[in-house]
Amino acid sequence: AARGADVDKWVKGACRFCGTGCGVYIGVKDGKVVAIKGNPDAQTNFGFLCVKGFLAYKCMYHPDRLTEPMIRQSNGKFKKVSWDKALDTVADKFKELHKKYGKDAVAYYGSGQAMTEESYTFNKLFKGGFGSNMVEGNPRLCMASAVGGYISSFGSDEPVGAYADIEYSKCLFIVGSNASECHPVLFRRIMRHKMKNPDVKIIVCEPRKTTTSKIADLWLPVDPGTDLAVFHAMAKVIMDNNWHNERFMNENARITNGKETFDIAAYKEFIKDFTPEKVEKLTRCPADNIRQAAEWFANSGASTSLWTMGLNQRTRGVWANNLIHNLHLITGNLFKPGADSFSLTGQPNACGGVRETGTLCHLLPGTKPVTLDKWRSHIEKEWGIKPGTINPKPGFHTMKMFDSLGGEKDTSKPIKGMITCTTNPAQSLPNLNKYIDGMRDSFLVVIDIFPTRTTQLADVVLPAAFIYEKGGVYGCSERRSQLTEKCVEPMGNAKPDVWIAAQIAKRMGLEKLIPWNSDDSMKNNEMAWSEYIRVTKDTDHTLAGATYSRLKKEKAGLQWPCPTTDHPGTYKRYVRGMDPMFEHEGFQKKFGIKMPLDRQFYFYMDSKGEGKANIWLRPYAGPAEVPSAEFPFYLTTGRVIEQWHTGTMTMRIPEIARAHPNGYIEVHPDDAKKYGIISGDMVEVTSIRGKSILPAHVTKVSLPGILFVPWHDQAMDRMINFVCNDAVDPGSKEPEFKIAAVKIKRISGP
């Protein structure tokens, strides 16, 4: 229907929702967005969209849109105010808190859904303007373990290859990912590849027989959080059968426990106890399945792993990432078409906007740590600020930041004020009961397009423009940055976030630092973007060649490293010589590459300068909580295809809201029988942290003893994050959303 829509113009852009980064055309008629269609030239989606991308524009005109700034009055109610009044209030209060409690009393909590220019601007305002590293973003809750895994294994964040590896793979190993619902357009690419090439093997490792598992040649069912043992067992089978690639290992990897370098014999010794039989007892994964998976993975000729939150949202998320990378490093499944170790991102700009701009408490733009003297000095010089302005000490990670947020009377809470932008922590944090009071009692400023559970706790609400009302860059999972051009004017009095940041800066005497406050959002964005790509031009993430004028012309954005304006972007990183994707037959034709092919650019990053990745010796560690006599079930959570995160936007798209209105709890028939539960009964699910009441869906999708709840439901009594665990991975500080020990009780029935 969108293709034939009656529009005045089609504007090129990116989808607002998941990390796939589908390219879109946005149809505009009479100053309103009226349709969205897939961009056939986009190398992410080749013209296809899922229901969310196709219908995204429908939420833009929902009557709930926030269109005027609001301040909470002493009677607890919000009053609409002018922008001047709202911005003066924010700036005055922040100045006061700064003076009274010090630089770190004010914090910023951003999002992998904010544009790159917005994350860069707020990061600069807080770290360069206020001298506060209390800067975090919700990618800490979803991607931090993948970041930790890439940096500790390869020396640099983000994947080696591209989505195009799917079409060249002979074996796909999908772990902790229900791609069919969470990355539906990529899943379509997987299915199409399988249908055209029936010999391609698909292995899925996860606790539920999801629609992703159903297309697999081999399902590795596991108890939540036990898959580290499966990865070690696969490695053992590979080594025992001499299916490893010793030449590749010697050339490209070192075996390490972080202190010393070991040899292959030490690696074999380390994994010797992970026999498939022992691991079956620990994980519930059949030993024969482990052996078969190892054989296919090692011998396919081109194996690609894909994973998301099932691997990352864990107390041992970094280790789980390392062990997947290990499988690729021991078998040589890297640096060639169809072979990659690929973490899929959940949000559209978690990679580009937060990881690459360093909008986290320990990073600076270019994904380099604040502790690095040389890089701090470089950034201070580029930003034109006094040496020593940027605090060399990292701020607090997300869970600690929210735990440290409180009212002025509470002396135990050092953070007194916070700006949240494009995110809804009052619904999306785990163990919510612990953090809601802090948000309520502190001075909370919320920038968003709709009322949310977080705006209910705010002191000031600032209405933001929707992506298609302001434009900007999103960087998706495959290192690809795409520019969305502004299509229409913002609704009512809503404003672009870069302008909001610049106005706060101006009121705090920081106008020179953040000068992007004109009425032209694309001009502001371009200035912020140009500075960002200049500041980070000497990193392996360089987008120096991806200027706005070039991104406007490119049909499908550009993949970094892209160091110069005549560089085609990079499909494969770490390649010694020509990018093998370019050499592969048909690749240039298929992906429309016309640039000179002798201009490949790569960095082989590693701290010792040997050009080697790390094969880590990581011991087995299970989840923080396991079922007990009192809490006999595992609870795991996830998404459904129609809904996006906390449902703020998708629940306001009528077709989607009708299709999938509320949460539910999946219960295996064996468990349902024991508890006298039938589908439709209301079931209370309780952990040591909190409870939730949901309708039961009795199904064999999960293994017995494992419950599943999607987390988009906004109703207070159905919000599952009251139950989820906030224990964090010691390295990445990512919480273990995916695993909690719980009990259930039937409350009522039809």
Binding site for ligand SF4 (CB under 6 A): 15, 17-18, 20-22, 45, 49-50, 52-53, 183-185
Q: How near is the Cβ of 557 to ligand SF4 at its closest, in Å?
A: 13
What is the C-alpha to C-alpha distance for residues 549 and 9, in angstroms, rounded to an integer? Answer: 20
Q: How near is the Cβ of 16 to ligand SF4 at its closest, in Å?
A: 7
- Residue 334 is given by DSSP the state S
By beta-carbon proximity to ligand SF4, the closer residue of 45 and 133 is 45
User: DSSP for 41-100?
Assistant: T-TTTTT---HHHHHGGGGTT-TT---S-EEE-TTS-EEE--HHHHHHHHHHHHHHHHHH
- Dihedral pair phi/psi, residue 353, rounded to 5°: -80, -40
**Other CB atoms within 10 A of residue 520 CB:** 13
By beta-carbon proximity to ligand SF4, the closer residue of 18 and 218 is 18
Two structure tokens written together for 338: 């169809």
Q: How near is the Cβ of 54 to ligand SF4 at its closest, in Å?
A: 7
By beta-carbon proximity to ligand SF4, the closer residue of 54 and 601 is 54
By beta-carbon proximity to ligand SF4, the closer residue of 49 and 651 is 49
By beta-carbon proximity to ligand SF4, the closer residue of 344 and 551 is 344
Residue nearest to ligand SF4 (CB): 53
Two structure tokens written together for 436: 């809601």
Per the CB < 8 A criterion, the answer to whether 173 and 401 are in contact is: no
By beta-carbon proximity to ligand SF4, the closer residue of 53 and 490 is 53
By beta-carbon proximity to ligand SF4, the closer residue of 179 and 719 is 179
Q: How near is the Cβ of 126 to ligand SF4 at its closest, in Å?
A: 29
- Dihedral pair phi/psi, residue 23, rounded to 5°: -80, 140
Q: How near is the Cβ of 57 to ligand SF4 at its closest, in Å?
A: 12
Identify residue 48 by its one-letter amino acid code: F
What is the C-alpha to C-alpha distance for residues 202 and 174, in angstroms, rounded to an integer? Answer: 8
By beta-carbon proximity to ligand SF4, the closer residue of 473 and 533 is 473
By beta-carbon proximity to ligand SF4, the closer residue of 49 and 501 is 49
What is the C-alpha to C-alpha distance for residues 31 and 34, in angstroms, rounded to an integer? Answer: 9
Q: What is the largest CA-CA distance in the chain?
A: 73
What is the C-alpha to C-alpha distance for residues 740 and 224, in angstroms, rounded to an integer? Answer: 9
Alpha helix segments (H runs only) across 554-616? 580-583, 587-590
Helix (H, G, I), strand (E, B) or coil at 595: coil
Q: How near is the Cβ of 38 to ligand SF4 at its closest, in Å?
A: 7
What is the C-alpha to C-alpha distance for residues 69 and 81, in angstroms, rounded to an integer? Answer: 6
Who's near 102: CB < 8 A, 6+ residues apart?
none
By beta-carbon proximity to ligand SF4, the closer residue of 17 and 664 is 17
By beta-carbon proximity to ligand SF4, the closer residue of 14 and 672 is 14
Q: How near is the Cβ of 445 to ligand SF4 at its closest, in Å?
A: 28
**Other CB atoms within 10 A of residue 74 CB:** 5
Identify residue 323 by its one-letter amino acid code: L
Integer CA distances (angstroms), 442 to 137, 405, 417, 463, in order? 18, 6, 6, 20
Per the CB < 8 A criterion, the answer to whether 206 and 173 are in contact is: no
Q: How near is the Cβ of 468 to ligand SF4 at its closest, in Å?
A: 13
What is the C-alpha to C-alpha distance for residues 187 and 487, in angstroms, rounded to an integer? Answer: 29
Q: How near is the Cβ of 15 to ligand SF4 at its closest, in Å?
A: 3
Per the CB < 8 A criterion, the answer to whether 710 and 643 are in contact is: yes
What is the C-alpha to C-alpha distance for residues 305 and 43, in angstroms, rounded to an integer? Answer: 19
Q: How near is the Cβ of 19 to ligand SF4 at its closest, in Å?
A: 7
Q: How near is the Cβ of 6 to ligand SF4 at its closest, in Å?
A: 22
Helices (H) and strands (E) in the chain, counts: 26, 29
